[in-house]
A and B are shown apart, each in its own frame.
Chain A
């Protein structure tokens, strides 16, 4: 597995987790749980953004793996 594929995989599972966290944050009636999950969602958002930028750089460097 190439580096960019590895990063993309991590990116995908993080996005999945973020979606689930978002779901929990919306579902709950408890304010404490809601804020905690919302914080986690925004933190993962930052991480996802950084990883996406990295993927772009990697794709630029190794265009033959683009799209995988």
Chain B
């Protein structure tokens, strides 16, 4: 066999073997890797490139490759099962700021200068060190920051607001094609979608993207950006109509002289007011 053919076969087979091995080793992103993971991948890459060029004895190469592929898989498995092995393999997280105070000795342990710490904090939007309650360096080297409770962004929970629960929106049209699985997830049919498109007055071919949100409202984006589409405002409209009805009933209560009717109107006005208050989070927020 000519040498070029050997190298071709080797390169192609090693290409797929490495692809498979790296896939089996896990889904970890390069930015989430510990330094040792990085070394591991480097060793595999070097081994494979040498083997592909037939520079080292093939069986020896495969033995080494096997070790460097299987050992991390085994270690990963053990690390999931045992916290101690996990800490040994991946290292422990280092606390950098605790109760608003910078832990200098931990900074030294993590080989982090004050400047680097400040940069990391700034990238987490904490420009003042006084705003930071707690900061931690994960085993991967990421720095995560907990802001002091008075510096955290306000959430509806802080305001004691009730908000409507929302699930993930489903993309039902992509590039002018109806996606049947997300539609089925929402319990809708292609027929429903076609009716909605007809209502909006657009052709399916012209739709780049359409999403259905929790309440079943459809958002449509067109290829033709010159066409202005009204955004779904049904909920706001329902809320406004409810309030209008409430005002009407209240006026009726004032207008009538009939005692019984007056009572009936004001009773129903109260009832409607309660309905409106109950629905406010679901219709407006």
State A43–B271 Cα separation when bound (angstroms): 7
- Number of residue pairs A-B, CB distance < 8 angstroms: 80
List chain B residues, Cβ under 8 A from A39.
Answer: 275, 278
Chain B residues near A29 (CB-CB < 8 A): 167, 186-187, 214
Q: Is there a chain B Cβ closer than 8 Å to A30's Cβ?
A: yes
Least CB distance, B252 to chain A, in whole angstroms = 6
Q: Are B264 and A50 in contact (CB under 8 A)?
A: yes
Interface of B is mostly: helix
Q: Which A residues touch B249, using CB under 8 A?
A: 10, 47, 51
**Interface size (B, Cβ < 8 Å)?**
33
Q: Which A-chain residue is minimally distant from B166 (CB atoms)?
A: A30
Q: Are A30 and B214 also in contact (CB < 8 A) when A9-B248, A10-B245 are?
A: yes
Residues of A within 8 A of B215 (CB): 24, 27-28, 33
Question: Does A64 sit within 8 A of B, measured CB to CB?
Answer: no
Q: Which residues of B contact A36 (CB under 8 A)?
A: 278-279, 282
Let me know if B79 is at the binding interface, CB within 8 A: no
Cβ A21 vs Cβ B252 within 8 A: no
Smallest CB gap from B261: residue in A: A54
B255 at the interface (CB under 8 A from A): yes
Verify A30–B167 contact, CB threshold 8 A: yes
Considering only residues 3-60 of chain A, those with a C-beta below 8 Å from chain B are 3, 6-7, 9-10, 13-14, 16-17, 20-21, 23-24, 27-30, 32-33, 36-37, 39-40, 43-44, 46-47, 50-51, 54, 57
Is B216 in contact with A24, judged by CB distance below 8 angstroms?
yes
Cβ contacts under 8 Å, B279 to chain A: 21, 36-37, 40
Contact assessment for A3 and B255 in the assembled complex, using a CB-CB cutoff below 8 Å: yes
In contact, B248 and A21 (Cβ under 8 angstroms)? no
Question: CA–CA, A33 to B216, complex, Å?
Answer: 12
What is the chain A residue whose CB lies nearest that of B264? A50
Task: Check B165 against A33 for contact (C-beta < 8 Å).
Answer: yes
Interface residues of B in 239-272 (CB under 8 A from A): 241-242, 244-245, 248-249, 251-252, 255-256, 261, 264-265, 267-268, 271-272
Residue from the set B167, B242, B265, B267 with the largest chain A CB neighbour count within 10 Å: B242
As a 0/1 sequence over residues 213 to 240 of chain B, the CB contacts with chain A under 8 angstroms (1 = contact) are: 0111000000000000000001100100
Q: A21-B238, A39-B278 are in contact. Are A27 and B248 (CB under 8 A)?
A: no
Which residues from chain A contact B255 at a C-beta distance below 8 Å?
3
CA distance in complex: A5, B96 (Å): 72
Contact A46 B271 (CB under 8 A): yes
CB < 8 Å neighbour of B275 from A9, A30, A32, A43:
A43
- Does B241 contact A17, Cβ atoms closer than 8 Å? yes
In Å, the complex CA distance between A7 and B253 comes to 11
CB atoms of B268 and A50 under 8 A apart: yes
| Chain B residues whose C-beta falls within 8 Å of the C-beta of A20 in the assembled complex | 234, 238
8 A-B pairs with least C-beta separation: A27-B216, A10-B248, A47-B268, A43-B275, A17-B241, A40-B275, A14-B245, A20-B238
